[in-house]
């Protein structure tokens, strides 16, 4: 698989912080992660979705393999995450989250239906098999993002990748 192949990476991790409810329903640490992810992912043309529930992160990242791997490595080094586990990684022809640099979903009722369907009493993504991962991703595609008004996001499709050059290099057409 080449570094430029488009991949979908799904991982889960446990939060190292004690979750708090905010007035808008988004945990404050998760809101900060979303802001940072949206900024960095838009730059790197990475899309995806994040769900946070019962102290666990479930996240899907889509984009160029090399760039997605770098993001996953950063997540593994992020002190807000522990026990980061790769659940699935596959090369894909079509992305599910082209309209989102990082979509956030708080789909408690849909997640609960999925858990009930598989006989699970709590959101424990480490126990998910391939069918459950697929089911949760499908629910995420259809779900609304309650954070979009408060933490702006933008599509990653057709966005040119920015070079590492500085402002003046870009201004002079050299970066």
Evaluate whether 133 touches 22 at the Cβ level (below 8 Å): no
Q: How far apart are CA 72 and CA 10, in angstroms?
A: 9
**Domain spans of the chain?**
6-171
Distances (CA, A) of 156 to 22, 39, 74, 96: 28, 11, 20, 11
Q: DSSP H helical segments within 45-107, as ranges?
A: 65-77
Q: Which pLDDT tens digit goes with each residue over 18-54?
A: 888 765 678 889 999 999 999 999 999 999 999 998 8
H/E segment holding residue 103: strand 103-105
Q: What is the pLDDT along the chain (175 residues), one digit of tens a residue?
A: 677 899 999 999 999 998 887 656 788 899 999 999 999 999 999 999 999 988 999 999 999 999 999 999 999 999 999 999 999 999 999 999 888 888 888 767 778 888 889 888 889 999 999 999 999 999 888 887 777 655 655 565 444 444 444 443 343 444 4
- Residue 69 is encoded by which pair of tokens? 């791997």
Question: From the CB of residue 70, how many other CB atoms can be counted at a distance below 10 Å?
Answer: 15
Cβ atoms of residues 91 and 45 within 8 Å: no
CATH of the structural domain 6-171, one choice from 3.40.1190.10, 3.40.630.30, 3.30.40.10, 3.30.70.100? 3.30.70.100
CB 102 within 8 A of CB 47: yes
């Amino acid at each position: 698989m080449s570094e430029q192949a488009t991949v979908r990476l799904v991982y889960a991790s446990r939060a190292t912080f004690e979750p708090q409810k905010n007035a808008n329903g988004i945990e404050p640490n998760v809101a900060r992660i979303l802001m940072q992810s949206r900024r960095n992912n838009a730059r790197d043309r990475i899309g995806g979705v994040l769900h946070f529930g019962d102290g666990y992160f479930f996240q899907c990242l889509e984009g160029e393999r090399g760039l997605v791997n770098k993001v996953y490595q950063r997540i593994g080094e992020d002190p807000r995450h522990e026990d980061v586990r790769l659940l699935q990684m596959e090369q894909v022809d079509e992305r599910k989250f082209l309209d989102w640099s990082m979509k956030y979903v708080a789909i408690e009722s849909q997640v609960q239906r999925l858990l009930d369907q598989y006989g699970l009493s709590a959101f424990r993504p480490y126990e998910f098999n391939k069918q459950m991962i697929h089911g949760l991703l499908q629910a995420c595609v259809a779900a609304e993002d309650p954070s979009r008004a408060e933490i702006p996001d933008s599509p990653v499709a057709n966005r040119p990748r920015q070079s590492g050059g500085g402002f003046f290099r870009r201004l002079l057409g050299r970066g």
